[in-house]
Amino acid sequence: MFTGIIEEIGTILEIKRDSGSAYIKVEAGIVLDGTKLGDSIAIDGACQTVIKMTGNSFDVFSSYETLNLTTLGSLKKGDKVNLERALRLSDRLGGHIVSGHVDSVAVFRSKELKGEAYEFTFEAPNELMRQIATKGSVTINGISLTVADVKENTFTCAVIPHTIENTTLKYLKNGDKINLETDLLSKYIEKYLSLNDNNSKATTINIDLLERNGFL
Residues in the chain, total? 216
| CA atoms of 124 and 128, how far apart (whole Å) | 7
Cα 46 from Cα 66, distance rounded (Å)? 8
If one counts the domains in the chain, the total is 2
Q: Which is nearest to 86 in space by CA: 47, 114, 56? A: 47
Per-residue pLDDT, averaged over 153-168, amounts to 96
Claim to verify: residue 139 and residue 108 sit in the same structural domain: yes
Report which of residues 51 and 208 the model is more confident about.
51
Residues facing residue 11 across a β-bridge = 27, 80
Pair (12, 67) in one structural domain: yes
The residue from 57, 85, 113 where one domain ends is: 85
Q: Note whether 120 and 156 are within 8 A (CB).
A: yes
Residue 118 domain-assigned (yes or no): yes
Q: What is the pLDDT of residues 25-34, one digit of tens each?
A: 999 999 999 9
* Structural domain boundaries enclosing 151: 104-195
154 occurs within a structural domain: yes
Task: Tell whether 73 and 12 lie within a shared domain.
Answer: yes
- Is the Cβ–Cβ distance between 121 and 62 less than 8 Å? no
pLDDT digits (tens, 9 = 90+) for 143-153: 999 999 999 99
The answer to the question of residue 52 being in a domain is: yes
Collapsing DSSP to helix, strand or coil, 72 comes out as helix
What pLDDT was estimated at residue 93? 80
CA dist 111 and 103 (Å) reads 23
The answer as to whether 211 is a domain residue is no
- Classify residue 69: in a domain, yes or no: yes
pLDDT band at 199 (very low <50, low <70, confident <90, very high): very low
Query: For residue 11, is it left (φ>0), alpha (ψ between -120 and 50) or beta?
Result: beta
Q: Which phi and psi (to 5°) does residue 95 adopt?
A: -105, -110
**pLDDT, position 204:** 60
Q: Say if 59 falls within a structural domain.
A: yes
CATH of the domain at 31: 2.40.30.20
Same domain, 78 and 113: no
Nearest alpha-carbon partner for 124 in 113, 139, 114? 139
Whether 213 is covered by a domain: the verdict is: no
| Per-residue pLDDT tens digits for 100-135 | 999 999 999 999 999 999 999 999 999 999 899 999
Q: Are residue 131 and residue 166 in the same domain, yes or no?
A: yes
Nearest C-alpha neighbor of 179 from the set 49, 92, 84: 84
